[in-house]
């Protein structure tokens, strides 16, 4: 048994914490009222201020260099350092926050209640790319449009993606303004303009890029893991009526770019290591990936077993004190391509990836009802409304509705970890 897997912290509320026990230690950018943004690590219900710990002289060597790179309110320079610095910092934090730490008094003064802090995006995102690797989602959505032939012929060869909009990425808790746009009403031949009537969520994993590549170079699949800084939750809010009218021939545009929400904590590959598993075997008859997308180690250990959940609370449910309604319970094993395959493919043409770039996985739906990662799939495009305990029904999201994404990893004999939440509430169109 790896001792880290069961180690305890002197921060009592971290032990058994659903998201942030000692084993997780995700970094993020936070601020306290009227103070500058700085880097912290989530531990239980608290945030450890790394700049204060640095000032107290408790870091040296590579861990010190890593913390120095987190200064300035964004983690891009830290992401650029790669895994060696990240692992050195993690080892030091495990010692400092572990139950045998010699520095509890100093560290106690650098701990803040997370509920009293504001969390921000962890990095300045240069480019954001949204993939489409959730094969069940691709199948479910494809069936709505092409019942006999849901997947296009390239799907099993190419990790499909489009370039998203980095300027409208926002941290959890940011309100979602209902977008306006062109839509084509059913049975009409000309579009109308107005607020989106089919507003939806998409449950996705976010992937933070660490070390980049020079333009013209490609990242080999065997090296791809070194280029990933960490993971988060991502809600790719989608205006289905705008999307249906605009998406051909060049893909999503204004139906996606009004806002994309992210959970603020960067969960590392080291924290997720116990929850790695083999990439699920391709169904009989599927083609093998081209050689630049094949790597034995990646196939053996490149997937993740992460439980993913989506909850809905309407304004009326909140007023009536009703619990959140679970819309989705799904798992990251529904990814047809691994993260390493996404990185290798994105850079194979010489496209430059940079520290702080962000990938979305694509919607991660399961096979069964109850595991679909969007309302488009759950309500079959609005044909099968959901009934809520408040007596309300939903085909798509209404103003006042709040969507909450969560993620959690479990394994026998290992402390569970989570990602924290990714929340957003719909507000009326301008």
Q: Give catalytic residue positions.
A: 137
Question: Under a CB-based contact definition with an 8 Å cutoff, are residues 409 and 272 in contact?
Answer: yes
Helix, strand, coil percentages in the chain from 3-state DSSP, rounded to 5 = 25, 25, 45
Please state the closest distance from residue 139 (CB atom) to Ca ion, in A. Answer: 15
> How many residues line the site for Ca ion (CB under 5 A)?
3
Of 53-61, 229-237, 311-319, 413-421, the window that binds Ca ion (rule: CB under 5 A) is 229-237
Q: Does 377 bind Ca ion (CB under 5 A)?
A: no
The mark string for 1-40 relative to Ca ion (x by CB under 5 A, - otherwise) is ----------------------------------------
Nearer to Ca ion, 127 or 130 (CB): 130
Q: What are phi and psi of 54, to 5 degrees?
A: -65, -45
Q: Between 160 and 404, whose beta carbon lies closer to Ca ion?
A: 160
Report the residue number, 172 or 365, with the smaller CB distance to Ca ion.
365
Contact assessment for residue 261 and residue 404, using Cβ atoms and an 8 Å cutoff: no
* Contact set for Ca ion, span 118-147 (CB under 5 A): 130
Point out which span in 80-88, 230-238, 281-289, 393-401 binds Ca ion (CB under 5 A): 230-238
**Closer by beta carbon to Ca ion, 130 or else 402:** 130
Look up residue 322 and give its two tokens: 């009703």
298 touching Ca ion, by CB under 5 A: no
CA distances to 30, 191, 243, 382 from 175, in Å: 18, 28, 21, 24
How many other CB atoms sit within 10 Å of the CB of residue 173?
14
- What are the helix (H) ranges across 124-252? 135-145, 240-246
d(CA 294, CA 219): 13
Told to check if 236 binds Ca ion by CB under 5 A, we report yes
Q: Which of residues 154-213 bind Ca ion (CB under 5 A)?
A: 202
Q: How far apart are alpha carbons 5 and 237 in whole angstroms?
A: 35
CA distance 148 to 170: 38
Q: Residue with CB nearest Ca ion?
A: 236
Q: How far is the CB of 163 from Ca ion (least distance, A)?
A: 12
> Among candidates 248, 244, 11, which has minimal Cα distance to 114?
11
Minimum CB distance to Ca ion smaller for 202 or for 357: 202
* Contact range with Ca ion by CB under 5 A, out of 24-32, 180-188, 231-239, 396-404: 231-239
Applying CB under 5 A, which residues contact Ca ion? 130, 202, 236
């Amino acid at each position: 048994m790896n001792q880290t897997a069961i180690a305890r912290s002197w921060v009592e509320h971290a032990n058994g914490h659903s998201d942030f026990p000692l084993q997780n230690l995700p970094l993020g950018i936070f601020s306290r009222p009227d103070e500058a943004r700085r880097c912290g690590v989530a531990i239980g219900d608290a945030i450890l201020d790394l700049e204060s710990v640095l000032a107290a002289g408790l870091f040296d060597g590579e861990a010190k260099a890593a913390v120095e790179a987190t200064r300035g309110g964004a983690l891009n320079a830290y992401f650029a350092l790669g895994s060696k610095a990240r692992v050195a910092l993690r080892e030091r934090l495990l010692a400092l926050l572990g139950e045998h730490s010699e520095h509890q008094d100093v560290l106690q003064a650098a701990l803040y209640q997370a509920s009293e802090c504001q969390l921000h995006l962890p990095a300045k995102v240069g480019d954001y790319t949204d993939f489409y690797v959730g094969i069940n989602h691709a199948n479910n959505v494809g069936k709505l449009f092409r019942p006999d032939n849901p997947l296009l012929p390239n799907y099993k060869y190419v990790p499909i993606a489009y370039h998203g909009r980095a300027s409208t990425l926002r941290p959890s808790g940011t309100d979602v303004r209902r977008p306006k746009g062109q839509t084509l009403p059913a049975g009409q031949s000309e579009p109308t303009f107005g607020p989106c009537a089919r507003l939806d969520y998409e449950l996705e994993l976010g992937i933070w890029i660490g070390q980049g590549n020079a333009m013209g170079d490609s990242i080999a699949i065997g090296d791809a893991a070194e280029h990933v800084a960490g993971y988060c939750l991502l809600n790719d809010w989608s205006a289905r009526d705008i999307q249906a009218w605009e998406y051909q021939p060049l893909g999503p545009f204004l139906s996606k770019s009004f806002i994309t929400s992210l959970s603020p904590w960067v969960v590392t590959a080291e924290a997720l290591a116990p929850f790695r598993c083999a990439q699920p075997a391709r169904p009989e008859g599927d083609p093998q990936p081209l050689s630049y997308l094949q790597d034995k180690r990646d196939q053996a250990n490149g997937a993740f077993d992460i439980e993913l959940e989506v909850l809905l609370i309407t304004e009326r449910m909140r007023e009536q004190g009703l619990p959140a309604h679970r819309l989705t319970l799904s798992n990251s094993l529904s990814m047809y391509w691994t993260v390493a395959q996404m990185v290798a493919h994105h850079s194979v043409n010489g496209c430059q990836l940079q520290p702080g770039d962000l990938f979305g996985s694509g919607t991660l739906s399961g096979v069964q009802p109850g595991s679909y990662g969007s309302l488009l799939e759950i309500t079959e495009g609005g044909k099968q409304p959901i009934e809520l305990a408040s007596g309300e029904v939903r085909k798509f999201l209404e103003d006042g509705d709040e969507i909450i994404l969560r993620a959690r990893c479990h394994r026998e004999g290992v402390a569970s970890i989570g990602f924290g939440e990714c929340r957003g509430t719909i507000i009326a169109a301008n």
